Structure 1
Amino acid sequence: MFRDYLQLPLPVRILCLGSLINRAGSFVLVFLAIYASEQLGFGVPFATACIGVLGLGSMAGSLLGGHLADKVGRRGVMLLALFGGAAILLLLSTVTHRWWFMLSVGVFALVADLYRPAAAAMIGDLVSIDRRPHAFALMYISINLGFAIAPPIGGLLAGYSFEWLFWIDAASMIAYGLIIALTIEETHPRRVSVEAEPSPSPRASWIVSVRTIGLDLPFLSFCISTLLIALVFVQGLSTLPIYIRQLGYSNLQFGLLMSVNGLLIVVLQLPLTHWLSRFNAMTIVLIGGVLISIGFGLTATGSGLVFVAVCIAIWTLGEILQAPFNQTIVTDMAPDELRGSYLGLFTMCYASALTIGAPVGGAVLYRFGPTALWTGTFVVAMIAVAVYGLIYASVTRRVARVG
């Protein structure tokens, strides 16, 4: 099994290692709300508004990054995101005026998230169709391992000085940027071709991208389903922690419950992806959506510690199924010359969910209670599953033609 991952192209393995290093140093994202509300004294409402601005910047960065990855190349966009993001982080550590701070947070998210669609497009360039689930699974587990490492280390650093969070976070981005600059070549098909025709103007290129994607109804429907699932999934990061505390569990019990997700991803992501890669990707994504719907929906029916852990395990299994195969399907559906743009719009669905889902879920929990919230997540996720079912045949045929 592990041979399939070790045999991935060296640049892909380097990208995964670099993502692990970068995410392990992503302290600012983890502690942003605490830093803004307590260290700078801006208060909780303003700090949570900064999280919303972070999501808006991420949405813009995802779209722009995908377009630029097609226009100027994957490698250059990733370097801009990493080196530019590091510079903005260092600047952000010195900002104490609230509105300048909020603006800087948005600019940082925009620049840093140029990276995501460009990296995904590079993986699509480098990896054959049948190996793409393995590549995206390895990237996904690398990111999750990094995020598991960041909070405890960040907590220790914050005990000395919050400035350390910004400096080391920036250093991790610079380190990853240097790894890419020194070891990875451009992979964009048109950029590496010696006989490539002159590129169209930026405006013409943008119009072509918008027209092509706007007429691609199966892809847009897939993105709608992705957004709906993401709106549900983001509750696991926003309202579920609040709900667990409302049930009266201790900090230790809360930590144990929230560790179920990361532990299962680390243990199951690679072997399950290896085994499932022989099956229809749309089938796997659809089953994953059902599991996410059931896992969140069941949360409304019980409150025991083990029961909540089982619910988390169910929707985590759905996440494990969907994560690599979602990106594989989008990569396969995209024309080679617009791969970055397709992945940019797909990535924006998750950024949009963070911006919309967290405040909406919080409002539902506050005004209507947990039963309404978790029942609502079940309904929304099942609507997404229904859309998957409607486009199942057309997407399957299209991916099969690519293969």
Structure 2
Amino acid sequence: MNLFRQSFAAWLPQVNHQIWILAIGRLLSQVGSGFTLFYAPIFFVNHVGMSATAVGIGLGSQSISGVVGRFLGGSLADGKVGRKHTLLLSGLVSAIASFVLAATQTFPVFVLGNLLMGLGIGLYWPSAEALVADLSTPETRNEAFALNRLCDGLGLGIGVVLGGLLLGTTHAYRSLFVIDGISFLVLVLVVFWAITEVYRSQGQHRGMQGWGVALRDRLLLTYCVVNILFTTYIVQINSTMPLYFTNFVSIPPAGKGFSTLTLTAILTWHLAACVLTQLPIARTLNRLTHARALMLSALLWGLGFVFIWLTGVAPLFPLVWAVIALGILALATVTYMPSASSLVVDLAPESLRGVYLGVNSQCWAIGYFIGPPLGGWAMDQDPWIAHSFWLGLTASIAVAIAILQLLQRQLCQ
């Protein structure tokens, strides 16, 4: 038993205890997000009565306020406000957004809720990622980011399972958003009581000056181009794929798409695969440069999209193709996440970590602006366009790999 405990302790990341506390807080928050993440498009399309395009536009509107939130989040995190208090503000704004979405009956209110959520998310990522960077060393940073991603995925998985069970028995979609709001308030309490601010601003870069430094960094801008592609891919899992599996996959003999319970099981498998492979892959990626790791991720994204396409067009075993697709996309996601964040931290001066990570997070805002409307439009078209959409994403992988090869050469120079 002692040998097992020692082996288990050695397997766990050897990081600052506050990183563990932050990761647990993020896990609790992500449980609430898992309640809504995959079911929101289905609820607003099939129950509230909005079109898939309208829901895509509403979800994409998060990117508008997200740009503002990320700008403020990076600046506040590097300034006198600091990482911790910026993170607290983000949790409060996100909680309000969840409660607004819980009360949504019309498209304008839906857009308002998404605008608030975008602002909260924008404030969150630069401050949260900067906290992880501050509390870790270069040797442990990859695993520190991987630990937080693992807890994100584990929380989402728990939320998806519980949300699916709740929907399967009560169909109380609106209660999911209330639970999401409460989970953000739990994160606020954890951060407020348990996290200590490590970084202290010395006022080296004020106002737009820090953003000017970041936006003149040629390496950072090259990375941002390909990162927009990656974030566009990620959002398809959350916003487009559930609609595709529900409305365009034909399950014999009735010819209908996957049921809510089946969809829940598939998405739970995806999140479980992310959780189980996150730390082993993060340690394996220490042998590769960050750019090489991102190339591997791009190849996995392309392969995963091919199997999603097969799920919709193959005459037999759609569930098998879906399970394979979500497993491959899990590997693509966990290969991307820690490598992307660690690369940006390596590029950033310590006094500008919040701003550099804010620029990195802006790529997510752009990806969320492009991804949901594009996927929603495809799902509103004829079946052949909906099916071909996934092959189009696969073809775009060539662009991502070409840019990453350029980035690798620039880093070597």
Provide the residue aligned with 1:137 in structure 2: 146
- From 172, 186, 198, the equivalent of 1:175 is 186
- Alpha-carbon RMSD across the aligned residues, in angstroms, is 3.0
> Do structure 1's residue 52 and structure 2's residue 66 form an aligned pair?
no
The aligned runs of 1:282-301 (5 Å cut-off) are 282-297=291-306, 299-300=308-309
Greater shift, 227-236 or 148-157, is seen at 148-157
Q: How many equivalent pairs are there?
A: 387
Provide the residue aligned with 1:247 in structure 2: 249
Q: Note the C-alpha offset of 1:89.
A: 3.9
Provide the residue aligned with 2:5 in structure 1: none
Provide the residue aligned with 1:215 in structure 2: 216
Q: Partners of 2:288 and 2:32 in 1: how far apart?
A: 36
Q: CA 1:396 to 1:50, structure 2 compared with 1: closer, same or farther past 3 Å?
A: same
> Do structure 1's residue 310 and structure 2's residue 324 form an aligned pair?
yes
Q: CA 1:209 to 1:113, structure 2 compared with 1: closer, same or farther past 3 Å?
A: same
Q: CA 1:68 to 1:96, structure 2 compared with 1: closer, same or farther past 3 Å?
A: same
Contact 2:57/2:373, CA 8 A, preserved across alignment: no
Q: Partners of 1:261 and 1:222 in 2: how far apart?
A: 27
Q: CA 1:108 to 1:274, structure 2 compared with 1: closer, same or farther past 3 Å?
A: same
Contact 2:31/2:155, CA 8 A, preserved across alignment: yes
> Do structure 1's residue 79 and structure 2's residue 93 form an aligned pair?
no
Question: What secondary structure is seen at the aligned counterpart in 2 of 1:205?
Answer: coil
Q: CA 1:91 to 1:281, structure 2 compared with 1: closer, same or farther past 3 Å?
A: closer
Q: CA 1:39 to 1:125, structure 2 compared with 1: closer, same or farther past 3 Å?
A: same
Q: Note the C-alpha offset of 1:310.
A: 2.8
Q: CA 1:101 to 1:241, structure 2 compared with 1: closer, same or farther past 3 Å?
A: closer
Q: CA 1:88 to 1:206, structure 2 compared with 1: closer, same or farther past 3 Å?
A: same
TM-score scaled to structure 2, two decimals? 0.82
Q: CA 1:88 to 1:135, structure 2 compared with 1: closer, same or farther past 3 Å?
A: same
> Do structure 1's residue 376 and structure 2's residue 383 form an aligned pair?
no
Question: What secondary structure is seen at the aligned counterpart in 1 of 2:331?
Answer: helix
Q: Partners of 2:387 and 2:178 in 1: how far apart?
A: 43
Contact 1:34/1:47, CA 8 A, preserved across alignment: no
Greater shift, 19-28 or 86-95, is seen at 86-95
Q: CA 1:88 to 1:313, structure 2 compared with 1: closer, same or farther past 3 Å?
A: closer
The aligned runs of 1:160-199 (5 Å cut-off) are 164-190=175-201, 196=202, 199=203
Give ranges in structure 2 of 5+ residues lacking alignment: 1-7, 252-257
Q: Partners of 1:214 and 1:168 in 2: how far apart?
A: 38
Question: What secondary structure is seen at the aligned counterpart in 2 of 1:130?
Answer: coil
Provide the residue aligned with 2:254 in structure 1: none
- From 337, 362, 367, the equivalent of 2:351 is 337
Provide the residue aligned with 2:19 in structure 1: 12
Q: Partners of 2:392 and 2:107 in 1: how far apart?
A: 35
Contact 1:125/1:189, CA 8 A, preserved across alignment: no
- From 349, 353, 356, the equivalent of 2:370 is 356
Cα deviations by residue, 1:58-110 (Å, 9 ceiling, x for unpaired): 34323321222112210010011113333454465556665345324312330
Cα deviations by residue, 1:288-339 (Å, 9 ceiling, x for unpaired): 1122123324554662433443343333322221111111111111111111
Q: Note the C-alpha offset of 1:385.
A: 1.0
Q: CA 1:394 to 1:46, structure 2 compared with 1: closer, same or farther past 3 Å?
A: closer
Contact 1:232/1:380, CA 8 A, preserved across alignment: no
Q: CA 1:156 to 1:382, structure 2 compared with 1: closer, same or farther past 3 Å?
A: same
Provide the residue aligned with 1:205 in structure 2: 206
Greater shift, 97-106 or 37-46, is seen at 37-46
Q: Partners of 2:41 and 2:234 in 1: how far apart?
A: 20
Provide the residue aligned with 1:232 in structure 2: 233
Q: CA 1:206 to 1:4, structure 2 compared with 1: closer, same or farther past 3 Å?
A: farther
Contact 2:38/2:239, CA 8 A, preserved across alignment: no
Greater shift, 17-26 or 342-351, is seen at 342-351
Q: Partners of 1:141 and 1:332 in 2: how far apart?
A: 21
Contact 1:93/1:166, CA 8 A, preserved across alignment: yes
Q: Partners of 2:244 and 2:175 in 1: how far apart?
A: 32
The aligned runs of 1:117-156 (5 Å cut-off) are 117-155=126-164
Provide the residue aligned with 2:111 in structure 1: 102
Provide the residue aligned with 2:255 in structure 1: none
Question: What secondary structure is seen at the aligned counterpart in 2 of 1:247?
Answer: coil
Q: CA 1:369 to 1:31, structure 2 compared with 1: closer, same or farther past 3 Å?
A: closer
Q: Partners of 1:90 and 1:294 in 2: how far apart?
A: 38
Q: CA 1:323 to 1:45, structure 2 compared with 1: closer, same or farther past 3 Å?
A: closer
Contact 2:160/2:267, CA 8 A, preserved across alignment: no
Q: CA 1:129 to 1:4, structure 2 compared with 1: closer, same or farther past 3 Å?
A: farther
Letter paired with 1:209:
G
Contact 1:239/1:362, CA 8 A, preserved across alignment: yes
Q: Partners of 1:309 and 1:168 in 2: how far apart?
A: 28
Contact 2:157/2:272, CA 8 A, preserved across alignment: no
Q: Partners of 1:314 and 1:157 in 2: how far apart?
A: 28
Q: Note the C-alpha offset of 1:42.
A: 6.1
